[in-house]
Structure 1
């Protein structure tokens, strides 16, 4: 049976230019397909050029408008160049979905390595700050826009299995709120989504490292399952749309009730 959510468009993002990071797989790739179907011209960023090219080809084959830019979240200059490329391609930026992230090796705090701390800080916090400031500067040129950051359910409570990841995502929540207050008068809305476990490649890797992870997640989720990437992207699409014109500084759970 065809899932109508995969084929029906409401035109939420018609006429908008939207930049998506981490767009080569998982939630980012789902967002690329969804946002294009909702009318956006999407510019997709990731390190994996081959996978990114495949997503661009899929969007175009479906009638959408898509371009790809290579971006390394560990390189501030690369991030700024990717955002600048959006301006070169379209002359403006209406929406940004900062979805790219790095996980950590699961384990308790006393076994968390310095490498885990450094990587999660660089990718999940500093890179987001770099991206947001560059995006806001471009948005100001045409009167504003909307930014959505991907946080995590792990930012809302203790996260003993992923302490570095949870800590940096909680810092991102604070940065999101500060940006919303700082840039509101410039017509820039800034929100975050906090997905629970989502059926992506990251979860599959955690299952390999710690068998039974998926079963435990499903058992702890009131809806009894993980989210599909498309379901998470749907919430980001709404926040980027004009339907959410009075929503800023919010952290929206997308976790099937697991954080309730």
Structure 2
């Protein structure tokens, strides 16, 4: 299937590992140019080189999305360097799960405001595109109560609400705004690998909730993100797209 992304430009926050990395790779394999950021400069340089091997233009920037001014500057410089922005994915999460005051503040600045500030910065550029898509990564923890329902889950819920509101506000400009909510996603160095080693009982409990008998992979989530971002999903906006292998039990209306 041709997703009609060749020569288009995608921006992704937090694209050196996990879902963000898989999403950047799939965009590149579909022929889209990729601008991405992450905090670790060495990892950014490595991923930039790997993405360029696909034959597309790729540029990585070492950046903390909690720095609103730096985030806005990155968007503006990307638009200038790439000749515009067609798609954006707000992927970064602090993964600050324990219920502490510090984690509430960190989750607010990184997860929620990192999303809000990216969306606000890219919207004027998306108006000049023919694709016009922005996606935020939330979580099943933003949809139902679970062990991560403190700062992490609350900010993920807020992201879903924020994106739904923006979708309505910009619908007349043909800008599509959606949320993707992954279920348990396992990858080396990820949160679930850490839980597997540090809290085996919680890991076993979580595995038992997955009716497929396994957790998802970053590539499985990325496939949904890239499709929803593409022109083929031209009628999809204001949606919260669950990719969880039937993990969540609630019925969506």
TM range (shorter): over 0.9
C-alpha RMSD over aligned residues: 1.6
Structure 1 residues 105 and 155: CA distance shift in structure 2, 3 A: closer
5+ residue gaps, structure 1, are: 1-8, 107-111
8 Å contact 1:152–1:193 — kept in the other structure? yes
The correspondence for 1:239, drawn from 225, 228, 247, is 228
- TM-score for the superposition, normalised by structure 1: 0.90
The correspondence for 2:31, drawn from 39, 51, 55, is 39
CA distance in 1, matches of 2:3, 2:232: 11
Which residue does the alignment assign to 2:176? 189
Which residue does the alignment assign to 2:143? 156
- TM-score for the superposition, normalised by structure 2: 0.92
Shift of 1:99: 0.7
8 Å contact 1:11–1:37 — kept in the other structure? no
Secondary structure of 1:212's counterpart equals helix
Structure 1 residues 171 and 150: CA distance shift in structure 2, 3 A: same
Which residue does the alignment assign to 1:147? 134
CA distance in 1, matches of 2:42, 2:149: 29
| Moved >3 Å (runs of 4+) | 9-12, 141-144
Which residue does the alignment assign to 1:58? 50
8 Å contact 2:131–2:230 — kept in the other structure? no
The number of residues matched between the two structures is 247
Are residues 1:199 and 2:191 paired?
Answer: no
Shift of 1:15: 2.3
Which residue does the alignment assign to 2:7? 15
Which residue does the alignment assign to 1:124? 111
5+ residue gaps, structure 2, are: none
CA distance in 1, matches of 2:48, 2:201: 34
CA distance in 2, matches of 1:184, 1:94: 16
CA distance in 2, matches of 1:226, 1:47: 26
CA distance in 2, matches of 1:71, 1:56: 14
Which residue does the alignment assign to 1:85? 77
CA offsets 1:59-87 (integer angstroms, 9 cap, x no match) = 11232321112221111011101111211
Structure 1 residues 13 and 214: CA distance shift in structure 2, 3 A: farther
Structure 1 residues 235 and 195: CA distance shift in structure 2, 3 A: same
Structure 1 residues 38 and 142: CA distance shift in structure 2, 3 A: closer
Structure 1 residues 11 and 160: CA distance shift in structure 2, 3 A: closer
CA distance in 1, matches of 2:4, 2:128: 22
8 Å contact 1:13–1:237 — kept in the other structure? no
Are residues 1:68 and 2:68 paired?
Answer: no
Of stretches 208-217 and 29-38 in structure 1, the one that deviates more from structure 2 is 208-217
Which residue does the alignment assign to 2:90? 98
Shift of 1:207: 2.9
Of stretches 55-64 and 18-27 in structure 1, the one that deviates more from structure 2 is 55-64
CA distance in 1, matches of 2:119, 2:219: 23
Secondary structure of 2:60's counterpart equals strand
Shift of 1:215: 2.7
